[in-house]
Every structure is written in C-alpha cells, then in structure tokens.
Structure 1
Amino acid sequence: MLPRSILSAAVLLAVCLMLTACPRSTPPPPPVVLRLAIMRDGSITTDGSQTSLEDLPAKLKDLAAKKGIVYYYREVGPAPEQPHPNALKVINALKEHQLPVSVSSKPDFSDEVTPDGRSHPR
C-alpha cells in the first residue's frame, strides 16, 4: 500500500492535469450598442450621425439580429413640453424590433436612468 502522502500527491496531480486540460471559458463579448438620440426639433442621431426616420428601421433590424441594446436619449427643453412626434415613432420602432433600451438623461450617454427615475453612472 502506498503512503498517504504519495497517494494525496497523485490525486492532486491528477486533478491539476484535468483542470489544465479543460478549455477555459472566455467572458462573453460586450453587447453591441446603438446610441440613439432624439432632439427637441425631432431630428434623430444614431451613434452621433444624423439618421432619417425612414433609415432607422433598417438600423434597428440589424441591431436586433446582433442581439444589441439601444442607449436612448431625448433632449428636453427647460420648460415641460410634449415630445416631438418623431420621439413616439422611434419608441414604436424600438418596440416593434423588441430591442432592450437603456435610457440616459445625458447627451453623452454617460448615465443610466433606472425605473425609479434615478440616474446612475453607466
């Protein structure tokens, strides 16, 4: 019979060899993000570039295929006002493509507004 120390070392060596032979799991890639902003005048930008309402569905379809997420910002004036009609059209397009949306209160998308209305750094 082998001494306990040799048996323990053999078991430890076998476990180490099994662990190094296993493929290492890599973290999933970060999600694809589309930064979408609606200005008070109804103009739309995606990732900083002017985008027409007609071109937006193709971008959203592509993003949905990539399982991406939308960072959404809507410019609000100093006085409470109704959003431009394009804002509602954009929201409907987001719902149609079933995209997850993260709302930001800052035009640089550096924060995230949670459902309770609080802003947190992104």
Structure 2
Amino acid sequence: MAKKWQRMSSTGRPRIATARRDAGLDINEACRTSVAEKGHCVVYSIDGKRFMVPLAYLSSRIFGELFKMSEEEFGLTRGPIVLPFDAIFMEYVMSLLRRRVSEELGIDPSSMYYDP
C-alpha cells in the first residue's frame, strides 16, 4: 500500500494544497475560509494579515498603485494577492478608502442611510 502511495505522489498529479497552521499566519486567520464574502476580494499584507476589500475599492487609483507595487515586488503569482506592506499600513489605507470611496463614486454619504 505504501508503494502505491509513493507511485501516486511521484506521478506529478495536481494535489490539493492546504494552508499549514505554522505558515506565518495568525491561528485565527488560518482557520478561516479562503473564500471571500460576496462583493469582496481578499488580499494579504506582507506579515500575513488578511483583508477583505470591497470590490468598489479596486477601481480606485490607490489600489491600482498598490497592485503595481505588488507586481513589481513579487511578480504575478497563482497564489493569493500579497501587498508589500505591513498590516498597520494596510489598515491605514483601508481607512482612507472608507472615507473617500463615496466621493469617488459620486454617492452622497447621507444617502447611504435609510430614513423612513
């Protein structure tokens, strides 16, 4: 039986990769699902923190530049998108985008609330 498994592993068939718990991510981060919520995209900071980015943010100039910098730093990979910044900087960028995305989209922030 062991020889059969060795032969199967040496054939070069595609395998399902799982995240190792000690791969540099926080334990809580590693236990989460890898699928993004509806209307979001998942990116990671250089230190492994996961960020759920609303799709509306991806059209901003800021994220365009962040993606260019990531491509220059890491190239185009098949894995998750890793931005070359730590989590503190990414949280700052996300807070800036939260405040300004409504302006870029031409939405009045007061119209985002339901008033009966």
Short-chain TM bin: under 0.3
TM-score (normalizing by structure 2): 0.25
TM-score (normalizing by structure 1): 0.24
- Looking at secondary structure, tell me which structure has more helix per residue: 2
- Looking at secondary structure, tell me which structure has more strand per residue: 1
Q: Which has the larger radius of gyration?
A: 1
